[in-house]
Amino acid sequence: MVAQKIYRLDNLCCPSCAAKIEKAVGGLDGVRAVSADAVTGRLILEFDEKTAPAISTNDIEKAVKGVEPDVRLVAPHEAEPVKSRRRVSGELTQLLAGAVLYAAAMLAAFMHAGIFILIPLFVLALVVSGGEVYLKTIKSIARGRIFDENLLMSLATVVAFAIGSYEESVAVMLLYRLGEYLQHLAAGRSRRSIAELMDLRPDYANLLTPDGIRRVAPQQVAVGDLIAVMPGEKIPLDGMITEGSSFVDTSGLTGEATPRAARQGGRVSGGFINKSGMLTIRAEKTFGESTVSKIIELVQNASGRKAKAEHFITKFARIYTPVVVAAALLIAVVPPLALHAPFYPWIYRALVFLVVSCPCALVISVPLGFFAGIGAASSNGILIKGANYLEALSHLDTVVFDKTGTLTEGVFKVTSVIPASGAGFSQKELLETAALAEVNSGHPAAESIVAACERPPEKSAAGDFRELAGMGVVSSRGGDTIAAGNERLMAEEGISFERQESAGTLVYVAKNGLYIGCIVISDVAKPDAAAAVAGMRALGVTTTALLTGDRTEAAMSLAAQAGIGEVHACLMPDQKVAEYERIAARSHGVAAFVGDGINDAPVLARADIGIAMGGAGSDAAVEAADIVIMNDEPSRLVTALKISHYVRRVVTQNIVLALTVKLVVLVLGALGLANIWEAVLADTGVTLLAVLSSMRVLLRKNRFRSAKMS
């Protein structure tokens, strides 16, 4: 069994530092997978409980400190950090102090001050502005980890100072630190923006006690406890309303702007906001099992599953820096020796090469783009469990749907009751007999039969009831054996019956081995089912299919309404898996399965991308899925596709922008056509542009449901 450990990493701002931590912690015995994310500041470890030795927090902390001494490992339950703002304030102080000293040195140079005044001023400005960079470089070299962006800037500024380019040396460091400061501000703001999208966690619960209302932490509420929710408060836990009525804002979970009516007997989820009347709610789940808790956990842990582009950039950065240092050394040494030319101009060109080559633009903007996409999806009621699934969505080619509850409302109604000729049963008697068998089943069709009775029967003992997956139920009541289900159940029980023709779902009923009639139940397509299928086709999905245990006639009728290409009906749960695999094998890209029931869990787990309807969907389906649609609308699949396409476009643009600009400046620098100032501006400017570009995803979070995406 795979287990997880999740920690927070304070003071982690540098993605290349995160990559070093991943490598160090991944080397611990028993660790199967590790993800360190500079965007979320989280460290996620996976290990096998059976075979792995106990991995202590001390072991992990030693590994982290071994590569990044300034990063602090914090357990998730501890107080949220306040150091990030202090860190930014410290950076700003160093930056301003260095700028003041640099201005003093430049003024002294303008006034033709002597070298014994100029050099100390420039040295002081360089140490104040870049001391932290030099210290990090020394620590990295001492630990045997030489190649990173700190080394690049240290080499560039020290060598520039050594060859007499004092002004440029200090200016390079100041501009580099300014770029870092602005990057940290932008990344910090993006983190806060994403956190605000998921600001669902309730601060407290109003527990009803014999002594009155007591405010407690949501974790202290047990199943069965009564809680009061006042107007304007967040509902802390999933539960049933026992008293009161109101309208609730569900936008945090479902992305729906219109408040939903909540009345006595109805169920609500944690994270909803009570808009008007007071509600009394009986808790049905603990806080850890509640919808809001699972959503927060899913989004926070999504960064642990990285996209291919993120893995590529991480590997690229590891190789890139040592290659750049080696290339700069060759530029500085080989041409002067080969051409018998002076060293100074070639050393200067090598410095330009070093300055512009920092990979920050890529290693910051790419993961930030994917995480922003996950945040934008969550604000639209779509939970994506990893950047890898968000990336895979952009290559979606085939979508396979379940029928009931996925493309249909899942609200069945009895539309016809047909007693068997000569059986001696009236419509009322047939309906009541079927209800005796179906009352113990939780299937929507069974519930509709029970609801259609004037006097619904009581549930029987568990031992008197059998539910046969994909067929129906058999129940023993009062000495009679009643079977209610589809044609396969009748065949299984060896019962002769009169086959009926209808587009609805047919439930054949037999009593003591004798067929007594048929009940027709109808379900309607969701209003946006056809639009969802059409929207997905417009975004590149070429194959759509419907898999259902229902009859062929009912499946074909729905497929015609929704515009689905192929239909496979009368399937058992295991047959759904086999049929999905056959369809997926023909796909030229990624194949997804969309379902909602317990019997869909195996297919959801097997699919390239499993997509569950989370509102009415079973817990098993939601757990097995990779993406969860919180409001059960098929059209949100189109929204998810638009977000994935847009994120891929933004990430691609960032990569092309960064590599193109850096390549151009690298070539110009090597040819002596670019100076250090231009190199610094190219490096920091491109990084800031890439970060701001990634933030476009969040700025568009409310526009992805529009018909056209620019």
State the average pLDDT for the chain.
Answer: 81
- Cβ proximity of 549 and 470 under 8 Å: yes
Q: Hey, what CATH class is 413-522 in?
A: alpha beta
Task: Select the more confidently predicted residue: 641 or 460.
Answer: 641
pLDDT at 16: 63
Q: Output the pLDDT for position 300.
A: 56
CATH of 387-409+525-625 given 3.50.50.60, 1.10.3720.10, 3.40.50.1000, 3.30.70.100: 3.40.50.1000
The secondary structure of 429-452 as a DSSP string is HHHHHHHHHHTT---HHHHHHHHH
609 CA to centre of own chain: 13
The CA radius of gyration of the chain, in Å to the nearest whole number, is: 32
The CATH fold of domain 2-81: Alpha-Beta Plaits (3.30.70)
Q: Judge whether residue 543 has pLDDT over 90.
A: yes
pLDDT at 253 over 80: no
pLDDT at res. 297? 63
Residue 191 pLDDT: 57
315: left (phi > 0), else alpha (psi -120 to 50), else beta? Answer: alpha
Q: Which residue has the tokens 């080559």?
A: 357
For the entire predicted model, the pTM comes to: 0.68
Q: Which residue has the higher pLDDT, 370 or 319?
A: 370
Residue-level pLDDT at 510: 95
Amino acid at 607: A
- pLDDT reading at 28 higher than 60: yes
Among the listed residues 238, 402, 523, 550, the single catalytic one is 402
Confidence check: pLDDT of 421 > 50? yes
* Helical axes 552-562 vs 529-538, angle rounded to 10°: 60
Residue that is written with structure tokens 């499993």 in the block? 610
pLDDT of residue 82: 39
Does the pLDDT of residue 480 top 60, yes or no? Answer: yes
Tell me: pLDDT of 118 over 90.
no
Least confident of 70-74, 326-330, 359-363: 359-363
Q: Do domains 2-81 and 387-409+525-625 have the same CATH topology?
A: no
In the residue annotation, 225 being an active-site residue is answered as no
CA distance 674 to 349: 8
Higher pLDDT, 684 or 461: 684
**Rounded Cα–Cα distance for residues 311 and 306 (Å):** 7
Which element (helix H / strand E) includes 662? Answer: helix 636-670
Q: How far apart are CA 360 and CA 148, in angstroms?
A: 10
Tell me how many helices (H) and strands (E) the chain has: 22, 26
Instruction: Please compute the mean of the pLDDT values over residues 352-376 and round it to a whole number.
Output: 76
Kindly tell me the burial class for residue 152, based on how many C-beta atoms sit within 10 Å of its own C-beta (0-12, 13-18, 19 or more).
buried
DSSP string covering 640-652, please? HHHHHHHHHHHHH
CA distance 440 to 437: 7
Other C-beta atoms closer than 10 Å to the C-beta of 189 total: 13
* Mean pLDDT within 352-356: 77
Looking at per-residue confidence, does 70 or 205 come out higher? 205
Find which of 29-33, 69-73, 217-221 is predicted with most confidence, using mean pLDDT.
217-221
Question: Does the pLDDT value for residue 78 go beyond 50?
Answer: no
Percent of the chain with pLDDT over 70: 83
pLDDT band at 368 (very low <50, low <70, confident <90, very high): confident
Distances (CA, A) of 369 to 41, 271, 354, 538, 704: 15, 26, 26, 24, 16
Least confident of 69-73, 188-192, 476-480, 571-575: 188-192
Tokens 């569900």, located at residue: 250
Query: What residues contact residue 88 under an 8 Å CB cut-off, 6+ apart?
Result: 181, 184, 185, 188
pLDDT score recorded for residue 408: 86
Indicate the domain borders of the chain: 2-81, 84-195+302-371+646-699, 387-409+525-625, 413-522
Res. 532: pLDDT tops 80: yes
Render pLDDT for 278-291 as a digit per residue (tens, 0 to 9): 999 999 988 877 76
Q: Which range has the worst mean pLDDT, 109-118, 609-618, 701-710? A: 701-710
